[in-house]
Amino acid sequence: MNGSNIFPTRRAAQYGIRIRPLFVGIALALALAASLCVVSVSFAQGPTDNQSCLQCHSNPELSMTLASGEPLSLFVDSDVFHASIHGTLNVQCVQCHTDIQGYPHPPANYLDRRDVTLQNYRTCEGCHPDNYRKTLDSMHQVALAGGNRNAAVCTDCHTAHAVTDPATPRTRIPQTCAQCHSTISDQYIKSVHGEALFNDNNPDVPTCIDCHGVHGIGDPTTARFRLNSPQLCAKCHTDAAMMSKYGISTNVLNTYIADFHGTTVELFAKQHPDQPTNKPVCYDCHGVHDIKSTSDPASTVSTQENLLKTCRRCHPDATTASFTAAWMSHYEASPEKYPLVYYVNLFYWVIIPLTIGALLIYIASDVFQRVRRRFGKAKTMADKSSDQV
């Protein structure tokens, strides 16, 4: 009995010595596997700080080939990014690239380089919802929806990784627009506005966005835009403080509205804003993007000869300089400018009040005499009646 009891005990002890290392080995293996899984998961998710991303993307040679066969550089200049607005605000890469959480990245399904932009620009809405919504009604978005893949989106104007103040310096504004509108930009640079901006850094002259807007750019070919354009020009040209610097008359809007052309345009703008009119607005006479100073011989209104050519666009029968001599170039008549008109106006300013004043005095004196006579007769009759009594 004792021997039989001792045998199992010895055998169990013997097995126990053998089983323990096995369990320990399995436990260690499971622990190692678990740690590898944690490391693997951590590596798959990856750190989200910008420095981790730039470890790879600061390599100038990092690139990929798109489905179209075009190469796409994946290089991000760390110095440029850190100096950008996003860099100074410590915006994280994954705040924009929300589909990327670690390495390896998910496969990129881009058709071509333009498709990269069109698939990624919508991320701007996350931080800039108001400006993004304005673009949805803009002329650019209308063109994009109509199939024009080259229509400008957020990153075309602001870039992706080098975002800086878009209006510093102000010359950057037309230079940005020139990426798509180079012909118009060339005209603007040679205009009175463009020369003052690029040569003198003049802060008063308008740039593209002052006339067309920034994010909600409308269609400048519509009747509504045309009818409202005089008020657009008037924003600067009726500013007395601004115009006094350059000796320019601020009566441009008043004198325009006072004549037949402007009166008709104003009525259309208020009552029929979407109905076209054949009456001229400011840019029909002065130009659109190629506006010249009125003292420039190349200006469309600088001389009687040039002005006559301009008027003939609407008045083909205008053949003599006398046709344009009646226009006073938005100036009010004065002894220095258009003295004949000034003195004729002065004559009427004097004679009309005197005539009306004399007439009123005559009428008043006549009424006074009539009233006086009537009261005199009444008094005489009253005196006679009292005497008879």
Q: What pLDDT digit, counting tens, does each position of 105-156 carry? A: 998 899 999 999 999 999 999 999 999 999 999 999 999 999 999 999 999 9
CA atoms in the 13 A half-sphere facing the CB of 289: 18
pLDDT band at 3 (very low <50, low <70, confident <90, very high): very low
pLDDT band at 23 (very low <50, low <70, confident <90, very high): very low
Calculate the average pLDDT of the chain: 86
> From CA 9, how far away is CA 22, in angstroms rounded?
20
pLDDT band at 181 (very low <50, low <70, confident <90, very high): very high
pLDDT band at 48 (very low <50, low <70, confident <90, very high): low
Does residue 41 have a pLDDT over 70? no
Q: What share of the chain is helix, strand, coil (3-state, %, to 5)?
A: 60, 0, 40
pLDDT top residue among 323 and 48: 323
pLDDT tens-digit profile of 209-265? 999 999 999 999 999 999 999 999 999 999 999 999 998 889 899 999 988 899 999
- What lies within 8 Å, CB to CB, of 101 at 6+ separation is 45, 46, 48, 94
**Residue 318 carries which side chain, given as an amino acid letter?**
A
**Percent of the chain whose pLDDT exceeds 90:** 65
- Which helix or strand (DSSP H or E) is residue 72 part of? strand 71-73
**Residue 151 carries which side chain, given as an amino acid letter?**
A
